[in-house]
Structure 1
């Protein structure tokens, strides 16, 4: 594609460009702002589209399930948010270690390191998938242990068994995605995601509406769609469109797994604590009165919140790539300016989402359910929900900064304090002790997001980015030491210099 052929001159962050000049006037700021936004939107646009398409795979399944029965909607939502959400958070978190390593290696022009990094991540993530199997196998008793409604727990547990193939697709997909993102190969990811989504919608309609296969049909379609994503992306890599970065399978993938796993675990903890935060609200709300209506209302809001989060996750990807590339190329001033630009863009979009939810508060739940009670419950959450969307426009961007800079473990500690030591206790206090129900639970959890955002903003503002660039250089030298001539290639892929 012509756009990908332009990626190197547009996005190239090599040392040959030198660091960003110090900005001394408004005219100079605006010029640099336009140039940086071109780089950011080249990455963010396709990444937003890809994120929305991938998230829509599960969300579309919930929409189809919502037009069966309220119980089946609750079961699919619970599996999607709790069981699959647990696996998704762990897999995505562990895979995000590659955003730091691959991004900084690409910025430093150490392309040969990327393919072995991806294979190491496969080994670690597939091992983790095997460890997560009992969660899928015993989902029903686990949900009942957390006092989830018995009928919801039983049906969600059955649906979890159907979704085991998706678990292993996660384990392969995220390392591939980070490998491609680090090289700005975002357009091909968008095309693959679009094809998978269109296929999923058509197959879901055929299996659920026409053939009346219910949850079995929903699971079949969702599993196939995720495996289309995995196989298509790897096929693109294997055909030679990532020259220098992919040199075939290597024994080097089995070296240094301990240190690599440690960074992956830090990344997983950081992101999992964020994903699980909204997963936990589903479980806690299931303990309120009128649990089925409450769970359905919260599921719809978290579904929409997830779609909005995917928009800003595109900015997360963009800023992570920009920060890691620039730090790898030892351009700290350019890294700082990229942060300013992406926060301005994401906050503007956040204000638009904030306004839309308030304007459409009585109707935004209708596409997800036929129940008037659930629609009213969703409407009652509109004000709190709109503020959630506003803060979530900035929070994923700041997480992307953390990943690009390699702060995973530090942010993990911040998330524990803000979300679990503060947000959840406040939410439980408001919901159960003061009787504010769903609104109280969501308000308390929103307070945790606000606190976490303020702390990471303070971290970003006070960071010495020159020091971060030096640490990135040290990190590249450390990790490149374990990828040398010991690697034995099974095949070598040679392809065109750019995607045609």
Structure 2
């Protein structure tokens, strides 16, 4: 028995090292990118309560929605790029990325009116007039970031599929430093306020995207990038279906916390965005790390003979790697949960020195801690779903759990029982909890042999009928 435990321990250690080889830099990359918003809020929070509330609403309602959609659209490449690598079709990686750009840019133009008419939208949602006016102006100033998202996430998946995570991480860390300096210079030193904060964000995202684009076209990917191609405009419908399903699947919606809070002058209405931003940083960095480690670690086990990602990656060894990933993610979830519980009355001071705001925000620490813990499990489950190509199924489950189950409960607790924002958040947490249980059940009941047979046809349909492996073409 002791020998078996020793073997399990050794195998777990090997898996953990493989995982952190990719997940470590991926987490750093996510932290650097999300921390740019954190820096913006931290500087703006000391301009005044209205400015803090306006930026929080924009980041978490308007930009948060756009960011989540773009992240989900880019995540469709996880499935398709994995299939391309497994099939030895590296040349398709560049095509898939360009195809994702076409869809993401089209989506950006669809989302553009939300930015332009943000003031009117927020007023319709009963946000305070003053906050809505300031938020609307700020929203227009940050429109360039919307199109930066459209380029950024497909680029990230392109890099991840070829294990170029450290390059992406270094770029993100350097840009984070530039963003911090720019924000201090424009907001504090030169006194440009919200306009300065928006300009700093626009410049920082532009630098990040341009740096990644230059790296792609500079010859470092001779097989995967052969230049711009008209093939990017082929088979867009199937690719669009997968992309939209991925967007819905990955976008867990915190926005009802803001949209249902009608008193714009209330302290929670001003600070809840800051609390939720902390949650997003911790959740999404774990999510991204888990998705990457699942994608790359599974890809490394593909045999040369096989062209089916699912058939090779979701074998016993990969299932073991998922267990290690869940365990590791839970470990860090416990650390973050403990940190929130231990510093619940201190972290709001990063954003404001108003005693009333700090007091009200601290009341949310238990819900925040519970949400972070739950979302240390979901990322790995989502990673498996992406690998298996279940985006449409998981998207449907997400809609039911959040909008049919969680949101009504939140509205009932928040308004009928007068619990307020804590009740709304509790309802959304309940939706996330049910979703997690369903994902665990689906994984437990899945017949992976049958899934392997179905996977290739799904991937070929999404990627385009003409993109067959070379072994089939010869």
Both structures adopt the same fold (TM-score exceeding 0.5): yes
**Which residue does the alignment assign to 1:278?**
254
1:373-397 alpha-carbon deviations (Å, 9 max, x no partner):
1100111112222111111111222
Is 1:336 matched up with 2:319? yes
With normalisation by structure 1, the TM-score equals 0.88
1:80-104 alpha-carbon deviations (Å, 9 max, x no partner):
1111112111111111110110022
**Which residue does the alignment assign to 2:332?**
349
> Does the aligned pair in 2 maintain the 1:322–1:404 contact within 8 Å?
no
> Does the aligned pair in 1 maintain the 2:93–2:158 contact within 8 Å?
yes
Q: Whole-Å Cα distance in 1 between the matches of residues 193 and 99 of structure 2? A: 38
Deviation at 1:477, TM superposition (A): 4.8
Q: Whole-Å Cα distance in 2 between the matches of residues 267 and 461 of structure 1? A: 22
> Does the aligned pair in 1 maintain the 2:460–2:468 contact within 8 Å?
no
Q: Whole-Å Cα distance in 2 between the matches of residues 79 and 476 of structure 1? A: 36
1:303 aligned residue (260, 277, 280):
277
> Does the aligned pair in 2 maintain the 1:324–1:405 contact within 8 Å?
no
> Does the aligned pair in 2 maintain the 1:336–1:465 contact within 8 Å?
no
Structure 2 stretches of 5 or more lacking a match?
A: 302-307, 470-474
**Which residue does the alignment assign to 1:463?**
446
1:482 aligned residue (432, 450, 466):
466
Deviation at 1:320, TM superposition (A): 3.6
1:115 aligned residue (84, 94, 113):
94
**Which residue does the alignment assign to 2:417?**
434
> Does the aligned pair in 1 maintain the 2:460–2:467 contact within 8 Å?
no
Give aligned pairs, total: 457
1:473 aligned residue (426, 442, 456):
456
Deviation at 1:225, TM superposition (A): 0.8
Per the alignment, do residues 484 and 437 of structure 1 end up closer, same or farther by CA in structure 2, a change over 3 Å counting?
closer
Following TM superposition, the consecutive aligned residue runs of length 4 or more in structure 1 with deviations greater than 6 angstroms are none
**Which residue does the alignment assign to 2:472?**
none
Deviation at 1:32, TM superposition (A): 2.5
Q: CA RMSD in A?
A: 1.9
Deviation at 1:344, TM superposition (A): 0.4
Deviation at 1:473, TM superposition (A): 3.5
> Does the aligned pair in 2 maintain the 1:423–1:445 contact within 8 Å?
yes
**Which residue does the alignment assign to 2:267?**
293
**Which residue does the alignment assign to 2:20?**
41
> Does the aligned pair in 1 maintain the 2:29–2:169 contact within 8 Å?
yes
Deviation at 1:176, TM superposition (A): 0.8
Per the alignment, do residues 243 and 469 of structure 1 end up closer, same or farther by CA in structure 2, a change over 3 Å counting?
farther
Per the alignment, do residues 122 and 305 of structure 1 end up closer, same or farther by CA in structure 2, a change over 3 Å counting?
same
**Which residue does the alignment assign to 2:128?**
149
1:342-366 alpha-carbon deviations (Å, 9 max, x no partner):
0000001111111111111211211
1:280-303 alpha-carbon deviations (Å, 9 max, x no partner):
211112x15x74311223212101
Q: Whole-Å Cα distance in 2 between the matches of residues 484 and 347 of structure 1? A: 39
Q: Whole-Å Cα distance in 1 between the matches of residues 126 and 351 of structure 2? A: 25
Structure 1 stretches of 5 or more lacking a match?
A: 1-23, 486-500
**Which residue does the alignment assign to 1:364?**
347
Q: Whole-Å Cα distance in 2 between the matches of residues 476 and 412 of structure 1? A: 17
> Does the aligned pair in 1 maintain the 2:256–2:424 contact within 8 Å?
no
Deviation at 1:445, TM superposition (A): 1.6
Q: Whole-Å Cα distance in 2 between the matches of residues 126 and 76 of structure 1? A: 24
> Does the aligned pair in 1 maintain the 2:72–2:250 contact within 8 Å?
yes
**Which residue does the alignment assign to 2:66?**
87
Deviation at 1:243, TM superposition (A): 2.6
**Which residue does the alignment assign to 2:224?**
245
1:429-452 alpha-carbon deviations (Å, 9 max, x no partner):
111111112222222221111111
Q: Whole-Å Cα distance in 2 between the matches of residues 402 and 338 of structure 1? A: 15
> Does the aligned pair in 1 maintain the 2:56–2:271 contact within 8 Å?
no
Deviation at 1:150, TM superposition (A): 1.5
Trace 1:302-321 onto structure 2 (pairs within 5 A): 302-313=276-287, 314-321=289-296
DSSP 3-state at the match of 1:470: helix
1:122-142 alpha-carbon deviations (Å, 9 max, x no partner):
111111111211111111101
Deviation at 1:177, TM superposition (A): 0.7
With normalisation by structure 2, the TM-score equals 0.92
